[in-house]
Structure 1
Amino acid sequence: MPHPAPYAVRLTDEITRRLGQLADHLAQLPPPQAAQVIARTLDPDNGVLGGVTHLVATGSMFAKDQAGRGALPADVWLALGHASNALGDIALDMDEHIDTLQRIGAQPAATAARPPAPAPLVVRRRR
């Protein structure tokens, strides 16, 4: 049985390439379709963000095992655990906005009689 690592590396490269294509398409989509893509991407259960979070969490478990055996420095495990937690926090932050994005994505593009008023942009600082 062949070792699955070459397949996994090719799969990683393909996913990375496809994410780049998705970003290129997103930049060209009309607002309702872009909102749909963003909502699906950010879905913490079935979207790209949820998948990446799960992947990093799985990597953290691998690193923990390897650090326990002395094959990896504990810092690698801690960094992956931190990244996994941070991605989980981001997913939770974004989850509250998915309904809004889906609602915008469900609206027909040409139904607005007048364009929506721009919202003031506010920068919030985390403390």
Structure 2
Amino acid sequence: MSHPAPYPIGLANEITRQLHLLADHLAQLPPQQATQVIARLLDPDDGLLNGVTGLLSVSSTFAKGQAERGVLPAEVWLALGRATNDLDAIGEDLDEHRTSLRRLGTQPATGSATPPTPAPLVVRRHR
């Protein structure tokens, strides 16, 4: 049974709207709540990043079939495949930080006598 076209398009539009709303809220949340939201977004099982990666993977599979039939240029399929791979790699890069985010997001907000020590921002990339 096929779904009517307006429903998936409306769903995509609503998800996009909700993502913009979430970003607006995230920018205004207190640090602990923002950390909880970020940890939830990065949840490896059912977080947003994993969901978007899966959606792009399905899109890539669809585009491959369309490209094989000559409906879409092969470059569309390749670009979606690269985007899927890139998001998957980003998720892997973030894996090591999920535990820290969860831990910080579940700590009670306290006005501790000694504030946390700022860490120098060092850019390092490993794969």
Identity, % of aligned positions = 65
Q: Are the counterparts in 2 of residues 41 and 48 from structure 1 also a CA contact under 8 Å?
A: yes
Question: In structure 1, how many angstroms separate the alpha carbons of the residues matched to 2:45 and 2:72?
Answer: 30
What is the correspondence of 1:76-87 to structure 2 with a 5 Å cutoff?
A: 76-87=76-87
| Alignment root-mean-square deviation, CA | 1.8
Question: In structure 2, how many angstroms separate the alpha carbons of the residues matched to 1:22 and 1:110?
Answer: 25
Shift of 1:33: 1.1
Is 1:113 the counterpart of 2:107? The answer is: no
Shift of 1:111: 4.8
Question: In structure 1, how many angstroms separate the alpha carbons of the residues matched to 2:44 and 2:77?
Answer: 23
Q: 1:41 is matched with which residue?
A: 41
AA matched with 1:53: T
TM-score, normalised relative to structure 2: 0.92
Q: 1:70 is matched with which residue?
A: 70
Count how many residue pairs are aligned between Structure 1 and Structure 2: 127
TM-score, normalised relative to structure 1: 0.92
Change (3 A) 1:126 1:100: closer
Change (3 A) 1:125 1:105: closer
Question: In structure 2, how many angstroms separate the alpha carbons of the residues matched to 1:29 and 1:84?
Answer: 30
Unmatched segments (≥5 aa) in structure 2: none
Change (3 A) 1:2 1:125: closer
Question: In structure 2, how many angstroms separate the alpha carbons of the residues matched to 1:124 and 1:95?
Answer: 15
Q: Secondary structure at the match of 2:28?
A: coil
Unmatched segments (≥5 aa) in structure 1: none
Q: 1:17 is matched with which residue?
A: 17
Shift of 1:109: 1.1
Q: Secondary structure at the match of 2:98?
A: helix
AA matched with 2:108: P
Q: 1:27 is matched with which residue?
A: 27
